Amino acid sequence: MSSPSHVPVLLDRVVALLAPALDHEGAVMVDATLGLGGHTEAVLRRCELARVIGVDRDPDALALASERLAPFGDRFVAVHAVYDEIPEVLQEQGLDAVDAVLFDLGVSSMQLDVTERGFAYREDAPLDMRMDGTTGPTAADVLNTYSEAELTRILREYGEEKFARRIAGAVVRERATAPFTTSGRLVELLYASIPAPARRTGGHPAKRTFQALRMEVNDELAVLRRALPAAVDAISVGGRVVVESYHSLEDRLVKQTFTRATASDVPPDLPFVPEGHEPALRLVTRGAEKADAHEIEENPRAASVRLRAIERVRGVAS
């Protein structure tokens, strides 16, 4: 099996955003997308009073991260769950609230780097793409069973693929000959379906289709739609939710959730906000922060990151 590497994106900035919420005895953070534990390791090193509950749907990631984080002892707990299960995770851990929640969305370095997982398009591998390889349909199942209209929709919506209809039609024709099983055959189809001028711009021609399949297989947007409000509800006063997203649809969901959470409930034409009606949360970042040119050069996966953070400034009125 090929071995994974791990370069956390915007690591110092993420820890700086989390640190004020974790600078007290008994502080707890949920790393909702643990991966190989790079962000969690940095938090545990720099926020010495904090402990972290690391959540991941990928059993392989949990095992590798647990080994990496073993030196921190009981300051780290690993939990096998999907990140929209935050309320259940807190209940199992005997917690009513936490001080921080971190999301680093999308596919992890480990999943991209381990060929056998089928996330990468540069090497031939089984078309799997499940973040939890123990359950659910694979990318091959999607390609071999979805209708042409359904394939067109996910390629257009999740992959922002201009040639979605053409690709979907080619997939349906090809699978009638033999079902799709490996990435190499799909990549060949994409090269044949996307016109040559388009192939020369916008990166690898398979990038958008593979992204769309991954998001569909793992139901990523629906999970995120449930997870963000749950995370906001889970933080105590002074607590923060920090989110790194890499897709415009993900970032839009984050922005919408944070905008709703920081809105006042008083009429917009009222000249002042009465005491007790101030928003319970405030935006910590101005818009979405991005990686600088140096980091993108060092770590190309940082190119599309959008970083947002929110803080609870008062409790909910009873």
Residues marked as binding for S-adenosyl-L-methionine?
Answer: 37-39, 56, 83, 104, 111
Question: What is the rounded distance in angstroms from the CA atom of residue 84 to the CA atom of residue 65?
Answer: 20
* Contacts with 59 (C-beta within 8 Å, 6 or more apart), sequence order: 80, 132, 133, 134
Number of helices (H), then strands (E), belonging to the chain: the values are: 14, 7
Q: How far is CA 168 from CA 104, 150, 189, 193, 225, in A?
A: 30, 9, 10, 9, 27
Question: What is the rounded distance in angstroms from the CA atom of residue 225 to the CA atom of residue 90?
Answer: 19
Instruction: Cite the beta strand spans of the chain per DSSP E.
Output: 28-31, 51-56, 76-80, 98-104, 235-245, 281-283, 306-312
Question: What is the rounded distance in angstroms from the CA atom of residue 153 to the CA atom of residue 159?
Answer: 9
The pair phi, psi for residue 144, each rounded to 5°, is: -90, -15
Question: What is the rounded distance in angstroms from the CA atom of residue 98 to the CA atom of residue 53?
Answer: 10
Nearest residue to 191 via CA among 160, 156, 211, 166: 166
* Contacts with 114 (C-beta within 8 Å, 6 or more apart), sequence order: 1, 2, 3, 4, 60
Q: How far is CA 313 from CA 52, 206, 214, 279, 299, in A?
A: 22, 44, 36, 8, 34
Numbered residues of the known binding site: 37-39, 56, 83, 104, 111
